[in-house]
Structure 1
Amino acid sequence: MGMTSAEELRQLASESLLAHYAEYCEGAVIVDAEARIVWMNERYPERLGIAMPECVVGQEIEKVIPNSLMRQVVETGRPIMLDIMEYGEAAFVVTRLPLHDKAGKVLGAVGFMLYDDPGHVVSLTARYQRLRRDLAETRKKLAEARKTKYTFASFVGAGTASSVVKQAARRAARTAAPVLILGETGTGKELLAQSIHAASVRAEAPFVAVNIAAVPETLLEAEFFGVAPGAYTGAERNGRDGKFKLADGGTLFLDEIGDMSPALQAKLLRTLQEGEFEPVGSNRLLSVDVRVIAATSRDLEGMVADGSFRADLYYRLNVITLRTPPLRERLEDIALLADYLVDAICRNQGMPPRGIATGAINRLCRHDWPGNVRELANVLERALLMSDSDTLEADDMESVMPTAPAVALPKVVGLRPLGMAEAVAQAEREAIRLALLSSRGNKAEAARQLGISRAALYEKMAALDVDARSA
């Protein structure tokens, strides 16, 4: 026996469709081009309460079923796929389809009573509505998760170094150029990246962050570019979008960019230059519009010099450069930071509001803070958890900090506690002196190391009575 052709299958399906529907549905009716009844199956008259079915043949459909829309189907040639039709005190779920000849002319229509009680579709409709609500809620939560939590107001600090970097970041937010943020661990690089995004024209679009150092090398390409359906054994059937696709129209933050392998550096460079990429296992290019902000605590210039980081990628990322100052170079901000962090920690821990005394601030100013703001937050949280007083004192700091201060500053002046202004002045004076020593008196280089402008350096040297020759 030969194989059945596609045309034969289509014809067979067409011929059997009416028979199957008429057999399994609650009722079926056929009308001609004038909307006159030409046939009803046995169930339909029973559902309508018609005692003599043969009497309805030849009558206009509205005379038998007043609310029928079969005439509309015949006249328009368009189906009514799902409807609720009322008949006396009853209501039926129905579908209506036009019947065409080979030339496409409407010859009549067929109607099927799918259910004799609309309640049968209530659960289906309710489930559909519930799924729609769940999908909308999930999309809303996902959109919220991809929005930034921080703005420039979150970068606490009023000193020169903080003001300079925030001003430069605000300028960067007005452009679409790539940004490279350099700074030690814990200086707020991601906070600054989120602030730039939140102040940009892309603020309503996604902000997607990738910590390159936290993702295994073998998974980074899939993390960036996504995976095509069935790309490899165990891959998801529908594929998976990568971070570039998720960030389309918004900002992609690449943290610890210095940890990226040379092979992935080349693929990233192509994506940044061409604005397109291939998902893993795909041979189709996808276009993407993403603003990239990269950050690292490593010396990228040194890595370029020794060949471990591509020079062309470095120059592509290094269009706008921001340097987040370490905490030891912005000691004038410690009082503000400490107040802010103490308040935030108390809220997060469910504690009553607490304060911090001047003596405790002085003790904080005498530490080198290699872990920067992250270390400061850790120290303050430990002090708050170990103290029962309403205000943190110097002794509370001593119990959770190294006993030997990393920066030797005077603890007393004339046997009295060092005031905030004096502590800050001492710290700034020492920082400027060390920068001038390191740069061999080159004030432009010293200003760069301090993260301030040369004009600001001259002002501080005059105000603090720092002699460049004695530095």
Structure 2
Amino acid sequence: MIRDDRLPRDAQSILELAARSMFELFANASEGMMLVDRHEKVVWINDQYRRFLPALGFERESDFVGHPVSSVVQNTQMHQVLATGKPILIDLLSNKAGTFVVSRIPLRDDGGEVIGVLGIVLFDHPETTLQPLIAKFARLEQDLSDARRELASRRRSKYTFASFVGSSAAALEVKRQARRAALSNSPVLLLGETGTGKELLAHAIHAASSRAGQPLVSVNMAAVPDTLLEAEFFGVAPGAYTGADKKGRDGKFKLADGGTLFLDELGDMPPAVQVKLLRALQEGEIEPLGSNKLVQFDVRVVAATSRELAQLVQDGRFREDLYYRLNVLPIRVPPLRERQDDFPVLIEALCEDIAARGGGSQLELDTAALALLTAQVWRGNIRELRNVLEQLALRSDNPHIGAEQVRAVLNAAGMSMVAAPLRAGPAPVVALDAEVLRPLPEQIAELEQRAIAQALSRTGGNRAAAARLLGISRASFYDKLGAADVSEI
């Protein structure tokens, strides 16, 4: 009998009436019921349950009732409910009589001791009676599988080494180093100015490595608040703090397990996270926030920064031990001003991609426009160059682009323009993929020679000032000066 001494007498009567009503409801509406006593013996079955006896192998009720439940019902869990006192509200039971959806509810005396178990057959033939529920479950399972596949595909590499456009000596060297790095599991440190293609190379290294089939997970230090970086890296245990997900959340190390973790803008990592990152890399294990359990991982780290890490180490703003841990395979990604030979093919590739994404015609730049773009400093490198080309595509009704249109966009963008080398006579309009009269390297060399001559003329022969005016290093200036015809300069 159900009793709660905290209730008034009238409420207690209602509770007992509700219990009897629920029992009668299940007895009449279910497919069968049985009672098992504290000694695991069947003491009662209702009329609906009796129809299962022949299928279970019993001719008489007396052969079933009074016997241990485990000896008359195959695969029963009634004894487990007696032992634990915990109900099994929904379960599938299969035996000689068929497959059923069942519930098992412990019965307690006034002292709270388990004195028996009520077993209820809710449905028989669940493959038909529960078909809508089974179908919905199957759909949810399929949706989950599709979502996992989609997430996995997004975490794979978007770029390969073919995506790093260019055949200049600088471009070929950086691709050679990156391909060698892809063969190793050691950390890779990509160094270079913003917009040079460090993230693209990180994807390419992963795609060419033995981990290509596993996830590539990225963390941008500059994009995540300092207070959230630790949780982003190491994950959060269930209920670690107020507002935390009750199921917990995996960090980037766990998500990248077996694959590659790309740490972008490494120089912006706060000191507190540097300590824990170093320990994680040394031990190969992490401790999620709010947890006292260590989780092992297998991750290859590729890091990138546009800042001078060595200087940050000297200034005490980046841990020296972490620097040496990550600076195993350093690769310097050259700025655009050191890849002038790549400008024609690079601009063509960018224009092709812009046209494909925007659905318009591909831009065709004449030689004067190309020369003007090549002469610029491009502090934002490829990212800045792409931005200018996108503006040209949006502002121009005609895909044929001349120097005046380029100059107008550069002025509107507030760029400090460097004049293109002068040519005698009007420049012919030539598309990037059109046939030229002379080899392109020969023409570019001529442009460089004229640019050097003009810079020296403006600076009164001061070579250091001329190098600054052209936006190139002094070493590069002297290299190009040596290749030029000094008599003409």
- Per the normalisation by structure 1, the TM-score is 0.73
SS of equivalent to 1:402:
helix
Instruction: Name the counterpart of 1:290.
Output: 299
Go from structure 1 to structure 2 and tell me whether the alpha carbon gap of 1:116 and 1:353 turns closer, same or farther (over 3 Å shift).
same
SS of equivalent to 1:401:
helix
Offset, 1:43: 3.1
SS of equivalent to 1:124:
helix
Stretch of structure 1 that moved more, 319-328 or 412-421: 412-421
Instruction: Name the counterpart of 1:411.
Output: 422
Q: Does 2:251 align with 1:242?
A: yes
Amino acid paired to 1:156: V
User: What does 1:389-428 align with in structure 2 at a 5 Å threshold?
Assistant: 389-402=398-411, 406-407=417-418, 409-413=420-424, 420-422=440-442, 424-426=444-446
Go from structure 1 to structure 2 and tell me whether the alpha carbon gap of 1:338 and 1:27 turns closer, same or farther (over 3 Å shift).
same
Amino acid paired to 2:256: A
Alignment counterpart, residue 114 of structure 1, candidates 116, 119, 122: 122
Number of residue pairs the alignment of both structures matches: 401
Amino acid paired to 2:47: E
Offset, 1:94: 6.2
Instruction: Name the counterpart of 1:149.
Output: 158
Go from structure 1 to structure 2 and tell me whether the alpha carbon gap of 1:371 and 1:363 turns closer, same or farther (over 3 Å shift).
same
Amino acid paired to 1:42: D
Amino acid paired to 2:305: T
Amino acid paired to 1:410: P
Instruction: Name the counterpart of 2:394.
Output: 385
Q: Distance in 1 between matches of 2:404 and 2:339?
A: 23
Offset, 1:219: 1.2
Q: Distance in 1 between matches of 2:287 and 2:103?
A: 46
Offset, 1:85: 10
SS of equivalent to 2:410:
coil
Go from structure 1 to structure 2 and tell me whether the alpha carbon gap of 1:39 and 1:278 turns closer, same or farther (over 3 Å shift).
closer
Q: Distance in 2 between matches of 1:299 and 1:84?
A: 68
Offset, 1:424: 2.6
Go from structure 1 to structure 2 and tell me whether the alpha carbon gap of 1:422 and 1:410 turns closer, same or farther (over 3 Å shift).
farther
Q: Distance in 2 between matches of 1:384 and 1:150?
A: 24
Contact 2:263 2:303 in 1 (8 A): yes
Gaps in structure 1 of 5+ consecutive residues = 1-18, 31-36, 61-72, 98-109, 439-445, 451-456
Instruction: Name the counterpart of 2:321.
Output: 312
Instruction: Name the counterpart of 1:212.
Output: 221
Alignment counterpart, residue 348 of structure 2, candidates 315, 333, 339: 339
RMSD: 4.2
Gaps in structure 2 of 5+ consecutive residues = 1-22, 36-41, 65-69, 78-90, 105-117, 430-437, 457-462, 465-471
Instruction: Name the counterpart of 2:112.
Output: none
Offset, 1:159: 0.9
Offset, 1:280: 1.5
Contact 1:25 1:114 in 2 (8 A): yes
Q: Distance in 1 between matches of 2:293 and 2:353?
A: 48
Amino acid paired to 1:424: I
Offset, 1:133: 0.4
Instruction: Name the counterpart of 2:195.
Output: 186
SS of equivalent to 1:252:
strand
SS of equivalent to 1:187:
coil
Amino acid paired to 2:161: F
Q: Distance in 2 between matches of 1:296 and 1:143?
A: 26
Percent identity between matched residues is 49
Q: Does 2:260 align with 1:258?
A: no
Offset, 1:182: 0.6
User: How big is each residue's C-alpha offset from its partner over 1:327-361, in whole Å with a ceiling of 9 and x where there is no partner?
Assistant: 11111111111111111111111214443333321
Instruction: Name the counterpart of 2:460.
Output: none
Q: Does 2:184 align with 1:164?
A: no
Offset, 1:158: 1.0
Q: Does 2:31 align with 1:26?
A: yes
Q: Distance in 2 between matches of 1:55 and 1:85?
A: 17
Go from structure 1 to structure 2 and tell me whether the alpha carbon gap of 1:371 and 1:86 turns closer, same or farther (over 3 Å shift).
same
Go from structure 1 to structure 2 and tell me whether the alpha carbon gap of 1:76 and 1:29 turns closer, same or farther (over 3 Å shift).
closer
Contact 1:79 1:96 in 2 (8 A): no
Instruction: Name the counterpart of 1:199.
Output: 208
Amino acid paired to 2:385: L
Contact 1:183 1:189 in 2 (8 A): yes
Go from structure 1 to structure 2 and tell me whether the alpha carbon gap of 1:327 and 1:43 turns closer, same or farther (over 3 Å shift).
same
SS of equivalent to 2:330:
strand
- Per the normalisation by structure 2, the TM-score is 0.70
Alignment counterpart, residue 139 of structure 1, candidates 132, 148, 152: 148
Amino acid paired to 2:31: E
Q: Distance in 2 between matches of 1:449 and 1:174?
A: 32
Contact 1:384 1:392 in 2 (8 A): no
Q: Distance in 2 between matches of 1:332 and 1:301?
A: 30
Instruction: Name the counterpart of 2:87.
Output: none
SS of equivalent to 1:388:
coil
Offset, 1:449: 6.7
Offset, 1:217: 1.1
Go from structure 1 to structure 2 and tell me whether the alpha carbon gap of 1:275 and 1:428 turns closer, same or farther (over 3 Å shift).
farther
Offset, 1:76: 9.9
Offset, 1:274: 1.2
Q: Distance in 2 between matches of 1:360 and 1:385?
A: 17
Offset, 1:399: 2.1
Offset, 1:288: 1.3
User: How big is each residue's C-alpha offset from its partner over 1:425-467, in whole Å with a ceiling of 9 and x where there is no partner?
Assistant: 2566679x99xx77xxxxxxx99976xxxxxx98x887x3478
User: How big is each residue's C-alpha offset from its partner over 1:222-243, in whole Å with a ceiling of 9 and x where there is no partner?
Assistant: 1111111222111111111111
User: How big is each residue's C-alpha offset from its partner over 1:32-71, in whole Å with a ceiling of 9 and x where there is no partner?
Assistant: xxxxx998622356x89x9xxx9964799xxxxxxxxxxx
Contact 2:196 2:383 in 1 (8 A): yes
Offset, 1:188: 0.4
Contact 2:236 2:289 in 1 (8 A): yes
